[in-house]
Structure 1
Amino acid sequence: MVTVPRLVIAAPASGSGKTTVATGLMAAFTARGLRVSPHKVGPDYIDPSYHALAAARPGRNLDAVLCGEHRIGPLFAHGARDADIAIIEGVMGLFDGVSVPEPGQPVDFASAAHIARLLDAPVVLVVDASATGRSVAATVAGFAGWDDRVRLAGVVFNRVGSAGHERLLRDAVAGLAIPVLGVLRRDNRVAVPSRHLGLVPAAERAPAASDAVRALGALIAASCDLDAVLAVARSASALDARPWTSTRAVEAPAALGRPVRIAVAGGPAFTFGYVEQVELLRAAGAEVVVVDPLRDETLPDGTDGLVIGGGFPEEHASALAANTNLRAQVAALAHRNAPIVAECAGLLYLARSLDGHPMCGVLDTDMAMGPGLTLGYRRAVAACDSPVATAGTPVTAHEFHRTSALPRVALPDNPVRASTQPAWQVGHRTEGFVTEGFVRGQVHASYLHLHWAGVPGVAERFVAAAGRARGSFGRGSGGAG
């Protein structure tokens, strides 16, 4: 049984101030000395970067689509172990989930409300009151009564204009028996800059991001009744869930002499990676080290495999291109058949070029920013064997980008192209299955993001491939080949 106090921060719609309130609460309670477990509903990877700053522990995602609803309780229990309070930021509006649920799934599948039900967590509703008065009572009452399995335990009014406006709002909801836990005035000083895919990740704004999080904590501490919020969290009943555990750690084969060494791309250009991925790699027997392609000129000594997750390489293309030595080492690592898994931003980095800037050249494709947004969950099947999966393995993934591959030049005798296969067959509503991504040797590159906790066996498969590569080529040399 899990007895961690917990609550979900939700809203009627996107843009209401969920991130402001959730991150501010995390920072405020952490400043009080409480151990805060930060969580985010859905596949968002930017908000958790601010959560991690606020709580001084990894921000974790709770995604019923990528991981399955049966894993939400266990993943929560794993992340919230030893915490004094868990704060879960919702996604979109409270009842907004996937657009078309699968048969047998609730209509609000993967919504904040769905996660709140799975975790038996009370909900605090953040309402943007900037353009409303007494009508706010109808909004709050409607959300409180929409689903009696979701307990709306309090409300926070955001962007309130004046003391008179605050009195009007409080009077309007006084008869609803739903306490007002906080009132935030309009304050542009705590705004976080955005760009084409949402907020700018915290790692790209250091140390300004830390200053912003501290300011949010101070704002929330001054604007919300923290004792009342904590009481709401403590009202959550015990949750019947066993903590998720990664696979039991395995010892490196004696012939290898040391654990398989996996480099994971990090730094400002590659900010996205679910923390469970690293935990799974370590549990599979790997030593995980971080490489920053913006600053590190070499791969870590003895690198046996490389994971390049998501991020914004398009914002740093010139600097990535200038690091010619590391690009050459990544290409050499691929050439010696060491496993490389690249998702979205990683795909761009392995391409021949990105917006005209030379990249690693592992893949025979050129990438460029475009005006259109590609976004959504995907059902896919592995098109061939790779370090990620065997052919025919079904997965659920997420896609979120504004880049695409430029039309290819006709070079039928190109050996790189000839040795490349699609990574996935992706289900498409109108076109059936379409191919996506690249597999070349032990390189797997795709726009699709996987949550490895939802695809058992990926980490073990990847680490085993890295061990075989080292056994074939001797001790890794940082990809120098």
Structure 2
Amino acid sequence: MTARLVIAGTTSGAGKTTVASGLMAAIAARGLTVQGAKVGPDFIDPSYHALATGRPGRNLDAFLSGPDLVAPLLAHAVGPVPAGEGARSAAASRAADLAIVEGVMGLYDGASGRGELASTAHVAKLTRSPVVLVVDAASMARSVAALVLGYKHFDLAVNVAGVILNKVGSTWHADLLREALEPIGVPVLGALVRDERVQTPSRHLGLVPVGERDARAREAQEALAARIAEGCDLDALHALARSAPPLAAPAWDPVAAIAGADGDGARPLAAVPDPPRRDGRAPRIAYAAGAAFTFRYAENLELLRAAGAELLPVDPLADAGLPDGTDALYLGGGFPEEHGAALAANAPMRAAVAELARAGRPVVAECGGLLYLGSALDGHEMCGVLDGVGHLGSRLTLGYREATAGVDSPLWRAGETVRGHEFHYSTLAPEASDPPAWTFAARGRERQEGVAGPALHASYLHTHWAAFPRAAARLVRAAASG
């Protein structure tokens, strides 16, 4: 499968998510199998992609994974989804007919101070994908041609092959914009009239994840798909996707990644004849799911399974305890601050998490999971694994990080340097242990963050393990030990 499109925006807020997820749903409604992907580290937009396609949402981030893995990860994403890997429909068992990649920010906006790195344009070039530019045309007329021409010619290695005009005022307005664009030779592939009825609720970190509003999100998705089908030329968009050249990279393979990983800090797993075992069985790693914990990269779970783990989903809001035989716990991110009272009310689950940690079993937590491990969150009692008290504030901590591990943990070795991303309004005080989970170096200053030890790693930092498969291998080994 080589058919693919990148849906880019002139700016943040131009309507990329509306167009991309609606286009996925509209094309899937025609009976085609569609794979969605998001440029950058965001977890929320991929949840809408998964709703539209029935396949796991994916991320293509040239900073988190490194540029060399972007095309292989896309090639992996469009393949059949194995049973238990997040398939939501029969379509997931087949290879995708086309991929639709939603951009981040404006087309050329990348990691701050690093040029094009991790921008939508960078990913489009790495995957050799045609770009459809979404323009917020609400207050534009003939100037739209100057804008689009600038985006098309700013980097001639980026194939800006079409435009979708969003927030158009009327049919007359759309005709005016088409007339302006005709001389520059960039085809208009859609024009979407402003419609206040098609909205997705937002809050402090962006859109509300699908997992918190599934039924309403489905209704909105159906309405959006109908709007996209009416306002866009689906045949022309599909033809443009099919014009993409073959992906010049083999598909990323989690099994091969684990086989080549430095699994225990001393020897590659390929030298080990059998996967790690615990009491004669695969080690069992529970991972947080449900409405409060929806942030995790699909590849992280795939790597854990490839390393030999049995993965068990657990909902800290609804389940009365951890699954029987849980050997380790992986708490991803999400919005525990929106569910503080309900998480506090589930005392049996909080006690089970604390007991697992006291027993010295491996516990890994990212961002929202870090808050859940604290003693309290905005006045609600949490698990008490950490002494820290969490609060939702008004100051945003956001950005890519290069981080150095401060101590050996179930994932990392002291002194090891990795790449990650922070995105949170909350704080946990105290912020770090001594030694900390991480030391961040940025703009000539250092900051310490997180809590770690031989059986614990808890931090705000999100990491994509495709670039660091040894982290998954080490966690499975830790789950099998003791």
TM-score normalised over the length of structure 1: 0.92
Give the one of 435, 438, 449 matched to 1:424: 438
Give 5+ residue unaligned stretches, structure 2.
80-94, 259-272
- Kept in 2, the 8 Å contact 1:383–1:423? The answer is yes
Give the one of 126, 130, 142 matched to 1:118: 126
Matched, 1:165 2:173: yes
Higher mean C-alpha displacement, 89-98 vs 171-180: 171-180
Aligned length: 452
- Cα distance in 2 for residues equivalent to 1:61 and 1:254: 31
**1:296 positional shift:** 0.5
Aligned AA (2:414)? A
Matched, 1:327 2:350: yes
Aligned AA (2:112)? S
Alignment-derived partner of residue 48 in structure 1:
46
Give the one of 65, 70, 75 matched to 1:77: 75
**1:273 positional shift:** 0.4
SS in 2 for 1:435: strand
Aligned AA (2:185)? A
Alignment-derived partner of residue 248 in structure 2:
240
- Cα distance in 1 for residues equivalent to 2:453 and 2:408: 10
Aligned AA (2:7)? I
Matched, 1:155 2:163: yes
- Kept in 1, the 8 Å contact 2:361–2:479? The answer is yes
Aligned AA (1:129)? A
Distance 1:303 1:237, change over 3 A: same
**1:257 positional shift:** 2.2
Aligned AA (1:68)? G
Alignment-derived partner of residue 351 in structure 1:
374
SS in 2 for 1:50: helix
- Kept in 1, the 8 Å contact 2:278–2:480? The answer is no
Alignment-derived partner of residue 198 in structure 1:
206
**1:454 positional shift:** 1.4
Alignment-derived partner of residue 265 in structure 1:
288
Matched, 1:29 2:40: no
Matched, 1:97 2:97: no
**1:247 positional shift:** 2.9
Residues 275-295 of structure 1 show CA distances to partners (whole Å, capped at 9, x for unaligned) of: 001100100000111101010
**1:252 positional shift:** 5.0
Matched, 1:400 2:431: no
Over the aligned positions, Cα root-mean-square deviation in angstroms equals 1.5
Alignment-derived partner of residue 384 in structure 1:
407
Aligned AA (2:206)? G
SS in 1 for 2:249: coil
Give the one of 309, 321, 329 matched to 2:332: 309
- Kept in 1, the 8 Å contact 2:277–2:283? The answer is no
**1:177 positional shift:** 1.4
- Cα distance in 1 for residues equivalent to 2:300 and 2:75: 17
Alignment-derived partner of residue 188 in structure 2:
180
Matched, 1:338 2:361: yes
- Kept in 2, the 8 Å contact 1:380–1:394? The answer is yes
Distance 1:237 1:252, change over 3 A: closer
Distance 1:407 1:151, change over 3 A: closer
Alignment-derived partner of residue 412 in structure 1:
none
Alignment-derived partner of residue 478 in structure 1:
none
Aligned AA (2:202)? S
Distance 1:12 1:222, change over 3 A: same
Alignment-derived partner of residue 263 in structure 2:
none
Residues 334-392 of structure 1 show CA distances to partners (whole Å, capped at 9, x for unaligned) of: 01111010000000000000011110000011111111000000111110100011111
**1:31 positional shift:** 0.7
**1:139 positional shift:** 0.7
Higher mean C-alpha displacement, 363-372 vs 245-254: 245-254
Residues 84-124 of structure 1 show CA distances to partners (whole Å, capped at 9, x for unaligned) of: 110000000000001111xxxxx211110010000110000
- Kept in 1, the 8 Å contact 2:354–2:385? The answer is yes
SS in 1 for 2:10: coil
Aligned AA (2:204)? H
- Cα distance in 1 for residues equivalent to 2:234 and 2:29: 12
Alignment-derived partner of residue 460 in structure 1:
473
Distance 1:253 1:292, change over 3 A: same
- Kept in 2, the 8 Å contact 1:252–1:260? The answer is no
TM-score normalised over the length of structure 2: 0.92
Aligned AA (1:174)? E
Matched, 1:227 2:224: no
- Cα distance in 1 for residues equivalent to 2:36 and 2:188: 23
Give 5+ residue unaligned stretches, structure 1.
102-106, 409-416, 473-481
- Cα distance in 2 for residues equivalent to 1:270 and 1:214: 25
